[in-house]
Each structure stands twice: as C-alpha cells, then as structure tokens.
A and B are shown apart, each in its own frame.
Chain A
Amino acid sequence: MAEARAIMVRTGPRLWLSGSWLILMALAAIFAPVIVPHDPLAQDLMLGKLPPAWISGSEPGYLLGTDSLGRDVLSRLISAARPAFIVAIGAGLAACLLGSALGLLSGFFGGWTDRVISRIVDIWMAFPPVLLSILLVAFFNPSLTSVILAIAIIDWTRFCRVVRAETMQQRRMDYVESARAMGLSRMATLLKEVLPNVLPAITVLLSLEMGIAVIVEAILSYVNLSVSTDQATWGSMIAEGRGIIYQAWWVLLFPMIALFLTVLAFSQFGEGLKERFDPVLR
C-alpha cells in the first residue's frame, strides 16, 4: 500500500488523476456490452424522459434517467465511450504519424522539402478546421472511419509544426554531427538519433490531439454526421438533449460531463507527461 502511494506521489497527482479517468473510460469502452445496466438501444416509450434517480418521478434502475425514446441514459453514456475512444486513438495516431513524419522530414532536411511542406501547412491552416471536417465526413459517407480520416487529414498540421520546430532545434546539436561523422546516413541519423529526442514533444501532443479528436467526433455527431443512428455517441446524445432541453435537461448534461472530463483528462495527461519529461531529461 505504501509502495502504491509512493508511486502516486512520484508520478504527480495530475498524471495519476487523469490517467485513472482515462483507464476508467477505456474499460467502459472495452467492456460496455457487459457492464451496462440496460440495452442502450432498447426503446420503451412508456418510460420516456424519466429524470435521474434522485429526482422525484424517476424509475428505479434508471440511474441517470431516460431520453425521449425511453433509452437508459447511463447505458448509452457508457456504450458511447467506445466510439469516442476508437476515434481518439485512431485519429490521434493517424494525425500523429502523418504530421510527425512530415515534420521530421521538413525540419531535418530543410531546403525544398521544408519549403514545400511548410507551404502546404500554411494553406492547410487557412481552412476553418471544423467546417473542413464537416465537409470531408459529409462527402465521404458518415462512419467512424471517415471521421478518423477527416480528423487526421485536418489536424496533422498541428504535429507537423511542432515536430518541425523540435527537429530543427535538435539538428543543431552536436550529437547529430557526430552521428553523421560516424558514417550514419541522413535518414538513419534522423530515425535513430533525432527521433528519440523529439518523441517527448510528440507524445505530449498526441495526448492533446486525442482530446481534440473526441470533441470533433462529438461535434460531428451533433451535426448528425458521425456514425449511423444506432450506436450511441456523446455527440448524438447532446444533439438530442439540446432539442428537449426544457423537458429533460439530464439527457444533455451527462454526456457533456463525460465529454468534458475525458477531454480534460487527455489534456492534463499530456501536461503531466510534459512535466515528467523535462526534469528527467535535464
């Protein structure tokens, strides 16, 4: 027990708290079908718009109330963690890989590579991101895959800029020169020597991006452009809740809280990692 506490203190409360929430959400995502109290898709119009358990008029068993179709809010909330996480990990990694690769190349090789890539980044960043994602998903037929692709296509520039800056900084350092002097090819130097030093910045950004991906998915769901109607997502729950806000505010509130805590956890986790990396490397 004391050992566990020691680990907690060492890693910092920020990392521990946010990490716990993320693990909780991940578990919800994985085990959703097993742990939900009710079938998230089961409709019962007799039980529509029931308030949460602590308010009068509620039904036992429906802890957070029901929506207008009588579906249990808690069950839908839990099962919505799955699409959220799939998008977070999928889009986050995709944007990370694409952006980091281009950033590394651009920062390390300079010259025309850098100029072309930077120009593309400039053009890309002139697009309004949300509008562009709506555009892409609408045209590619809404599905989780198209959402992941859309986010990756739009947000890679975030990684590219930061990774490029970090790479350029690393490139000036002595170990790069010595690696080249030892006969390593430029690509090998980039991958074996520079990349590990840029990795901390990439990791921090990845965590941030995952939080952003969850939000974008929610926005797309809100605009009716994410997964098809069967699977519950926090965004579609919010869309429905917004419509019946005066009659059943809980349908809006709980997915909002889930969304907020998840995004906060991702960004705090990234911040915590940044804190951890700095003193260790120094």
Chain B
Amino acid sequence: MGRNLLIRLGSTVVTLFGVALIVFILVRVVPGNPIAMMLPPGASDADIALLTAHYGLDKPIMTQFWIWLGRALQGDFGTSISLRQDVMGLIFGRLPATLELATLALVIAVALGGSLAVIAARYRGTAAETGIDLFNGASLAMPDFLWGLTLILLLGVAFPVFAISGRVSPTLDLNFVSGFYLIESILRLRFDIFLDLMRHMLMPALALALPLAAVIAQLLKTSLKEAMQQDYVMLARTKGFSETRVLLSEALRNAVIPTLTLAGVQFTFLIGGTVIVERLFSYEGLGNMAIDAVINRDLPLIQGIVLVFAALFVIINLLVDLSYALLNPRLRHG
C-alpha cells in the first residue's frame, strides 16, 4: 500500500503541473490586455511597455512559465495586479472562510443525506420512503445556484431568519488571529459571534449541502437496501435483533463503503460550487475573490486561485481513496 500511495502522489504532482501549465497558457493566449486595464486611459505606450516589462509579460510564454514555476515552488506566486498585494497572502487570507463554509456544508450534507437514507431504508414500502424518493428526485435537479436563490427568497425575505449577505455583521468587532472565525469563536467562547456567523453562513452552506445531500441519500439508500438483502442480515434477525438495530449495526457499515467513493467526488463539486454561492451571498471567501480576479484580468491572482482549487480537488480525491482503503477490511490486510 505504501508503494501505491507513492504512485498516487506522483500522479497528483503531474496533474497539478498540467493544471498550472494550462491555466498559464490560457490566460495569456486570450484577448484582453490586463496592463491596459490597469492604467488610466490615454496612458502612453512607454508606460504600458514599462508595466508590461515589470510583470514580465513581454517575454515568450514558456519562459514566463518557467520563471513563474521557479518562484512558485519557493512559495512566491507573485503580486496581484488589481489588489497590489502578495497573491499567496491574499489567498490564505480568504481560504479559511471558504474552507469553513465547505466543511459546514459537508457536515450538513452527510447528516441530512444519511438520515434520509436510513429512514427511507428502514421504512421501505411506506409513505415515508415514497416521500423521500420524490424529494430526492426533485433535489437532484436543483443545483446549488438555484438552492441559494430559493433559500434567499424563503429564509431571507419571506421569513427573514438569516442574513443574506456577508460573512459576519460589520457591527461586531472581531480581533481574531486566524481566518477561521467559526472555530475561533467557539474556542474563545464568543457565542454571540458564533451565532452571528451562523446566521450568515447557514444559508450558503445549505445551498451547497443540499445537492450533495440528495446524492448521498440516494446512494446510501440503495446500498442499504442491498445490504439488507444479505444473508448476514437474515442471520442477525434470527439472533433476536430488531429491524432498526440490524439496519444500523449490520447493514450500515457495509453500505457506507460504496457510498463514500461516489460522494467524495461529489464533494469536489461542492468545492467548485463555492465560487457562485459565495458570490450569491456576497460571502468573503476565495470563490468570490476569484470572480473579481477574472473580471479584472488579474493574471497572477487567477493562476494562484485556480491552482489552489485544483490542489484542493486533488487532495480530496486522495483522501477519499485513502479512507476507502482504510474502511474496507478486505483491503487493509492486503
């Protein structure tokens, strides 16, 4: 298994390299001159040439790439053209917000999807299962974008429970050290801040979570129903265990394994979804900053953000594979 891991890591590095190369070329091959956008109209050609040289955009593309790669491997991703700050600094400033949002969404998705699947499997053939199936069918067609809008209408306007923009109320003063507001608010026992954060984060988190929950519910339910047909479940019933107990104690651990891999892929879609959901809710995360970066043709920032997202995707895939190997007893002992 160690050898496999090394191969996977190597493959990951190749993939990330490919991503970096492609995005690098992409942003430079397309029309639109970021330098011209930065300068006031009527700037002289000399000014433009100076700034272009400053950002190294006058060199051939491959040379630019190697220079960029060299610096990147040392942790220097350049300076943002639009925000005039260090790219990595900007990214790490916003990354915790996005990570917290995605994690919250994941927790909600697993809890919700898992419960629905267990209920549907336990009460199969009843109205409960049919209801859950219908809900699932509709949810599977609703992307996070539409969920976000629906939640805004329902819980932000019709029954104003939550805040519909931002990450935290500007009136609260936070002197937190990390960007992980949610975690830090708990650690510092500032529950007023925690609640305020939740008021802002629950809707975007739900918007992200619901599509994933629908997928989990469907997959887990199918796996559970299949597991319940197995002989070891029948044997457990003869031992005297109730139907609920048999479902949770015997079937569930077998059903989780196939669900995990497929749900893991869906989680990467969730990460990708933070881009539009953050925009929808004006949430100050990485995705929101990414959109602005694109609109402003901020090449170094775009590269940095895309690479960070790609790295997240790849890491998650790796973790999913690893946990699959750990969970499946057959694979653990080789």
Q: Do chains A and B touch in the complex (CB under 8 A)?
A: yes
CB distance A249 to B157 under 8 Å? yes
**B: contact size bracket:** 35 or more
Check if B18 sits within 8 Å of A119, measured CB to CB. yes
- Verify A126–B146 contact, CB threshold 8 A: no
Q: Which of B39-47, B184-192, B221-229, B270-278 is near enough to bind chain A?
A: B270-278
Contact with B along A24-45 (1 / 0, CB 8 A): 0000000000000000000000
B306 x A128 contact (CB < 8 A): yes
Our pick among A136, A138, A246, A263 for the contact of B143 (Cβ within 8 Å) is: A263
Q: Which residues of A contact B269 (CB under 8 A)?
A: 129
User: Interface size bucket, A side?
Assistant: 35 or more
Shortest C-beta distance, A65 to chain B (Å), equals 15
Question: B263 on the interface (CB 8 Å rule)?
Answer: no
Q: Are B157 and A130 in contact (CB under 8 A)?
A: no
Is A170 on the interface with B (CB-CB < 8 A)?
A: no
Which residues on B sit within 8 Å (CB–CB) of A219? 145, 276
Q: How far is the CA of A223 from the CA of B140 in the complex (A)?
A: 24
Is B302's CB under 8 angstroms from A123's CB? Answer: no
Q: Which residues of A contact B291 (CB under 8 A)?
A: 131, 134, 223
Q: How far is the CA of A282 from the CA of B252 in the complex (A)?
A: 32
User: Are A139 and B145 in contact, with the CB atoms below 8 A?
Assistant: no
A75 on the B face (CB < 8 A): no
Is B310 a contact of A256 with CB atoms below 8 Å? no
Most B-side CB within 10 Å, residue of A119, A219, A268: A219
Q: CA A138 – CA B145 in complex, angstroms?
A: 19
Q: Which residues of B contact A259 (CB under 8 A)?
A: 146
Smallest CB separation, A266 vs chain B (Å): 8
User: A-B pairs with CB below 8 Å: how many?
Assistant: 122
Whether B152 contacts A245 by the Cβ 8 Å rule is yes
Contact of B275 with A130 in the complex, beta carbons under 8 Å: yes
Q: How far is the CB of B266 from chain A (nearest CB, A)?
A: 13
Given A126-B310, A249-B157, A256-B150: A134 in contact with B275 (beta carbons within 8 A): yes
Whole-angstrom CA separation of A222 from B278 in the bound complex: 13
Q: Please determine whether B31 and A260 come into contact, CB atoms closer than 8 angstroms.
A: no
Which residues of chain B are within 8 angstroms of A119 by Cβ–Cβ distance?
Answer: 14-15, 18
Interface of chain B, helix or strand or loop or mixed? helix
Contact partners of A223 in chain B: CB under 8 A: 276, 279, 291, 295
Question: Within 8 Å of chain B (Cβ to Cβ): is A176?
Answer: no
CB 8 Å contact bits of B135-176 with A (1 = contact, 0 = none): 001101111011001101100110000001000000000000
Bound-complex Cα distance A260 to B295 (A): 27
A242 to B152, CA, bound (A): 9
Partner of B153, one of A127, A215, A249, A267: A249
A131 and B143 within 8 A (CB): no
The complex places the Cα of A218 from the Cα of B276 at a distance, in Å, of 11
Q: Is B143 within 8 A of A128, CB to CB?
A: no
B residues 269-297 near A (Cβ < 8 Å) are 269, 271-273, 275-276, 279-280, 287, 290-291, 294-295, 297
User: Taking beta carbons and an 8 Å cutoff, which residues of B are in contact with A?
Assistant: 11, 14-16, 18-19, 22-23, 26-27, 30-32, 137-138, 140-143, 145-146, 149-150, 152-153, 156-157, 164, 269, 271-273, 275-276, 279-280, 287, 290-291, 294-295, 297, 302, 305-306, 309-310, 313-314
- 14 A–B contact pairs at CB < 8 A? A119-B18, A126-B15, A130-B276, A131-B275, A132-B306, A139-B27, A215-B146, A222-B279, A223-B279, A223-B291, A245-B152, A253-B153, A260-B142, A267-B141
- Additional A-B contact list (8), CB under 8 Å, known A138-B295, A252-B149, A259-B146: A126-B19, A127-B19, A129-B272, A134-B290, A139-B30, A215-B146, A260-B141, A267-B141
